[in-house]
Amino acid sequence: MGIFSTLVAASAVADVVIAQRVIPVGFSKPTARLPALHRRGGTYSQELNNNLTGGGYYAQVTVGTPPQTVDLIVDTGSSDVWILDSNANLCHSKTMQSRYGYCLSTYDSSNSSTYSVVSQDAFSIRYVDGSGAEGDYIKDNFSIGGADIKALQMGLAENSTINSGLLGIGFAANVAAETPYPNIMDLFQNQDLIAIQAYSLYLDDLYAATGTILFGGLDTEKFIGELKTVDIQPDRYGNYSSFTVTLSSLTTTADNGTVANYTTRSAVPVILDSGTTLTYVPSSIANRIFRAFGAVDDTSGTGLVFISCDYLDDNKNLTFDFQFGGKDGPVIRVPVDEMVLNNVQEYVELGLDVPSMPFDNVCSFGLQPNSDYYLLGDTFLRSAYVVYDLTNKQIGLAQANLNSTKSNILEITQESGIPDASGVASQVTAEQTATGLPGTGNSNGGQSATTTGSSSTPSGQSSGNAGARAVSAPSWEALAVTAITGLFGLMGVGLVVL
């Protein structure tokens, strides 16, 4: 596996209104690491680092006194924050590192005056791909996006098959501990850092080095048209433990008007999970899509679905259209080239034996079948602007305004919940210059992007120089105009197996 390098420096979110309780947290992109090849009152903003090929998005935080810098995978599909111990087995075993990668960053409890043990050997977590970590539950001070959280309970992993800790930001009911405890989202609110337990996620497109998560707020410059809400669905026991919403339909649309419908008879419960690289849908849907696109399902062998790289040069503006919550619900359009990953050659260099294919230029497909759970991971989320409201059990969805360089941040308050907000009229006008293919080299994932402006085009139309990822909003957004991130096995670590 590849070695993580220093995270790419990323620009800060501009024009944050300090009076609001909104925490901007950025994430950015380390060098690529391929997933394993087997099944498996203010606003605070954090920038997120995009691991382009592996699909991980990383937030840089600090832990302890004095603060120690740690990089964590942002995971909406789990609820524990956990960090790697400086003496973790993975960090000192060359054999393990050859399989799972070098430790990205670690924490040394002996160097923190505010460290305390909550429960020895009580932390144990496994993810759907079989990866996991175990150790103690501890408490220490934790800082993210300028917000200082006192005495956060975290897992301290002494044994791990994951080379980075995780920032689990789901419901507290889903923590790995036998007895639930106040997790990071609880403490954000309990310590009066944000008004309610809510945040918004903006990953930006496949080529973007950075994205942003806003704790306690949303940014109207980062989405197109109307922000529509859908209800989070409880689990079979009536508890809210994951960000499950109903997928009403899945279609493909081309600019020539051709539409193919892959909808099942009933709505499909899907989990919105930033800790998962790919998108997993029912086999009945996936198989029909594979036939339509000439894709080859080899998940039982290599763990991949193969597809022609010709779709990266799509000239029909072909999109996968996901609709949620019924016929009047939000629609997110995902360009086909966001679903096609040019990473197979890297797998080959690592020893992958690609079976014979009916096409010469082989890529992997960012959509796979599953019979146990349905996850919309990063190949979907990059096209969406998502607001997670844990307090009111709602999700807000809108088309992402890709490559946006502006900000207009609104606080999410106890009274309003997710506000009736509208974003920009249409996709930002941007010109991208690709200097390589996804996952093929430099610390930016082999890509560079240059934004030449942010002027608007008429709603529902694409601009001539908007680039391949300039996707206009669905037609139902046309009148809503007003003038911020599985890395392993199953290619995702988000869904916890308890």
| 360 flagged as catalytic | no
Q: How many CB atoms lie within 10 A of CB 392?
A: 17
Structure tokens, 457: 């085009």
Q: How many CB atoms lie within 10 A of CB 494?
A: 31
3-state secondary structure of 292: helix
CB 404 within 8 A of CB 430: no
CB 378 within 8 A of CB 203: yes
| 140 flagged as catalytic | no
CB 387 within 8 A of CB 198: yes
Residue 464 CB partners (closer than 8 Å, separation 6+): none
CA distance 251 to 321: 5
According to DSSP, the residues that pair with 142 across neighbouring strands are 63, 149
DSSP state of 135: E
Of 75, 219, 321, 389, the active-site residue reads 75
Of 71, 219, 273, 389, the active-site residue reads 273
The H or E element that residue 399 is part of is: strand 394-400
CB 78 within 8 A of CB 170: yes
CA distance 388 to 247: 16
CA distance 329 to 477: 11
Structure tokens, 178: 């036998």
DSSP string of 349-384? Answer: HTT--PPP-SSSSEEEESEEEESS--EE-HHHHTTE
Tell me which long-range contacts 457-465 makes (C-beta under 8 A, separation of at least 24).
457/425, 457/426, 457/427, 457/429, 458/425, 458/426, 459/225, 459/425, 459/426, 460/426, 461/426, 462/317, 462/427, 463/426, 463/427, 463/429, 465/429, 465/431
> Which positions are catalytic?
75, 273
